Amino acid sequence: MTCPRQSNLTRQTPSLPNGDVEMKRTQQGFTLIELMIVVAIIGILAALAIPNYINYTKRAKVTEALAMASPFKTAVAEYFSSDETLPSNITDAGLPAFTATDYVSGITLTNGTISATAVPAGVGSGGAQVVLTLAPTTSQSGVDWTCTTNEPALSPKECR
């Protein structure tokens, strides 16, 4: 007795006109050109990203100088609110001498004006110092600050 249905286990393979059985090809990996395109795209992205990252790290190091000057700004504002004049130096403002850090070599106070010097490696032209100058403007409401720098490209957002 023959079964009218064909078994699902056997499968007919298409044959070529000459009677040979056709073998299906499966893709086994990426071609060389596809890999070269991926490497080129990664290279272009790296060429754009690395300079931006370097500038970002330089700005972050210079911004540390602005953060280190914050207690000086507070001391000047307090001195002005009590004496209605600006302190002539760090001692008059009641501050201890500044201790240098990895990226800030010094902070000075002269007649209320604060100068913070940043010297992170590779910052500026040839690793030159970046000086942030905070100049006070006094009024009845207190002290307002104006920030200037000798390296505008590396200046923090508050100094632009």
User: What is the domain partition of the chain in residue ranges?
Assistant: 32-159
- Based on the number of CB atoms within 10 Å of its own CB, is 73 exposed (0-12), middle (13-18) or buried (19 or more)? middle
CA-to-CA distance for 149 and 133, rounded, in angstroms? 6
Q: Give the model's pLDDT for residue 35.
A: 95
- The reported pLDDT for the residue numbered 5 is 56
CATH class of the domain defined by 32-159: alpha beta
- Note the pLDDT of residue 68: 94
Q: What is the pLDDT of residue 12?
A: 58
For the chain (length 160 residues), average pLDDT per consecutive 10?
54 62 69 95 95 87 92 95 93 91 92 91 64 93 92 85
Q: What is the pLDDT of residue 113?
A: 96
Q: Write b or e for each residue in 11-32: b if 16 or more Cβ atoms lie within 10 A of its Cβ, otherwise e.
A: eeeeeeeeeeeeeeeeeeeeee
Number of C-alpha atoms within 13 angstroms, CB side, residue 57? Answer: 8
Q: Compute, in degrees rounded to 10, the torsion defined by CA atoms 67, 130, 145, 160.
A: -100
| Alpha helix stretches (DSSP H) within the chain | 32-68, 70-83, 90-93
pTM over 0.75? The answer is no
Decide if 119 contacts 131 (C-beta within 8 A): no
